Amino acid sequence: MHFKSLRWLLALAALLATWAAQASVIYTTSYALTNADPSQLGRVSRSGIPSDWSDSKAFPGTINAGTSYHYQTFTLDLDGLMAGFTFGQYLQISADFGTDTRDFVTSYLDSYDPTNLATNYLGDIGASGNSFGNPGFFQIVVGSGHDLVLVLSDTVAGGVSVPMTINLTVEAFTDTMFTDLTPDATGGTVPEPAALALVAVALAAMARARRRAGQAA
């Protein structure tokens, strides 16, 4: 095979690999807590241990029950987000805190009760802030037919002084081997249209390169 053709094939493979690495992302959002957000009394204790798929993490407890903290919830319809694909019950939630070290992420099944932080608890990220510049993450298992509620909360009393944006990402996998979702009988679209367009461009470019190589031979 001509070197240029091989180069285009490698470029196409890299493109497909990039798409595949993103195929399991079902939700992303960015948010910065402010003093306008709702508040609750007490917060979930930071145990330093993130939840993972190997075992259900016990609720780490509530601390500072008389202190007010700001929070915000994000309710995810998992069946809707994964419509057209095999349901992936193995979820990984990542939080890019940037330079923030005061916010915390917890997860709940179906609903969140700010007056009882243990109710419907699923798991949490363990600690606040990035680790060596890398986003923190935790893993939980949620079956079909349920909503996932993510809670972003402050850990510093006295109100939010400088709002900092936290980026949240939720990925879904079909097993603990990080297998991406696959289309089900309803015909989930994989890859998505944008990815298909990029692949078509790469294929066309590769074909042009091969024609030029043949003419030059």
- Please tell me the total count of domains within the chain: 2
pLDDT higher at 62 or 161: 62
Interval 103-156: pLDDT, tens? 999 999 999 999 999 999 999 999 999 988 899 999 999 999 999 999 999 998
Cα–Cα distance list, 159 to 40, 47, 117, 131, 172 (Å): 12, 23, 20, 25, 34
Arithmetic mean of pLDDT over the chain: 82
Q: Does 90 or 198 have the greater pLDDT score?
A: 90
Is the same domain home to 174 and 196? no
Model pTM score: 0.76
Q: What confidence score (pLDDT) does residue 188 get?
A: 55
Q: What integer pLDDT is reported at residue 90 of this predicted model?
A: 97
6-59 pLDDT, tens digit per residue, is: 554 554 454 444 444 445 899 999 999 999 999 999 999 999 999 999 988 999
Cα–Cα distance for residue pair 128/113, rounded to 1 Å: 21
Assess whether 178 and 197 both reside in one domain: no
More confident residue, 165 or 3: 165
- Assess whether 17 and 30 both reside in one domain: no
Residues 74 and 165 in one domain: yes
Q: In terms of C-beta density within 10 A (0-12 exposed, 13-18 middle, 19 or more buried), how is residue 52 classed?
A: middle
Question: Within this chain, do residues 182 and 202 fall inside the same structural domain, yes or no?
Answer: no
Q: Is residue 102 located within the same domain as residue 134?
A: yes
96 and 111 inside one domain: yes
Per-residue pLDDT band at 198 (split at 50, 70, 90): very low
Domain range for 200: 1-23+191-217
Residue 88 sits in a domain whose CATH number is 2.60.120
Residues 80 and 52 placed together within one structural domain of the fold: yes
Q: Are 3 and 40 within one domain?
A: no
Pairing relationship of beta strands 90-96 and 136-141 according to DSSP bridges:
antiparallel
Same domain, yes or no: 43 and 65: yes
Residues 113 and 38 in one domain: yes
The answer to whether residues 103 and 207 belong to one domain is no
